[in-house]
A = this chain, B = another copy of it.
Amino acid sequence: MAHHPAQHENFRRRVPEGDNRERLVCDDCGLIHYDNPKIVVGAVVTYDGRFLLCRRAIQPRKGYWTLPAGFLEEHETTEDGARREAYEEATADIRIEQLLAVYNVPRISQVQLIYKAHLGEPSFSPGTESLDVRLFAWAEIPWDELAFPSVHWALNQFREIDGKGPFSPFTNPAGELGNMPPKA
């Protein structure tokens, strides 16, 4: 952390030597501050054919239903991150099976890694970022109250491959960039 950007006061935007994009560069010591895309990790979690969804207690999209998911932390693996988020948001102990999808939301520089997972037992309750947590049968999923486009994508893509053997992970549906509002 010796060179954390917050400790450098004189940043200037310029193209560093050998680079081809403008970066914030510290005028005093030459430190380059890179803005990096952010990684979201989460899971489609099922139990006995039903889907675990969390009703958001926080903005954005407060009150809407989402998959347990959130930002990967430093020094954390993506699978550990997905498990942590399920525990924080739904007090759920999930068992990851495999990667379901990699979604890109380039407008906000976000990469989402969504796993296929299941509950070992039907034990869950809302964490501090959730108003409610429930298991929904497919026909009961509140499609009009889902928080983000990628929640729609992940649930539908899960449905395509569930029980069908090895599959290659999905990406964004053709032409979709993850911008709001979600499509049903």
Contact = CB atoms under 8 A, between A and B. Distances in A.
Contacts of A18: 58, 128-129
Contacts of A8: 6
A75 B36 CA distance: 9
A36 B110 CA distance: 11
A74 interface: yes
Given A6-B8, A35-B74, A79-B171, A102 B99 contact: yes
Contact of A36 (B72, B79, B102, B168): B72
Contact of A169 (B109, B165, B169): B169
A73 B23 CA distance: 11
A37 B76 contact: yes
This protein's copies in its complex: 2
Interface in A63-97: 71-79
A163 interface: no
A24 interface: yes
A39 B111 contact: yes
Nearest to A6: B11
A21 interface: yes
Contacts of A4: 24
Given A74-B37, A75-B109, A109-B75, A98 B24 contact: no
A33 B21 contact: no
Contacts of A165: 166
B104 A78 contact: yes
Interface string A26-68: 0000000111111100000000000000000010000000000
14 contacts: A5-B5, A18-B129, A36-B74, A37-B39, A37-B72, A39-B39, A74-B109, A75-B106, A78-B102, A78-B104, A98-B169, A99-B102, A111-B113, A169-B169
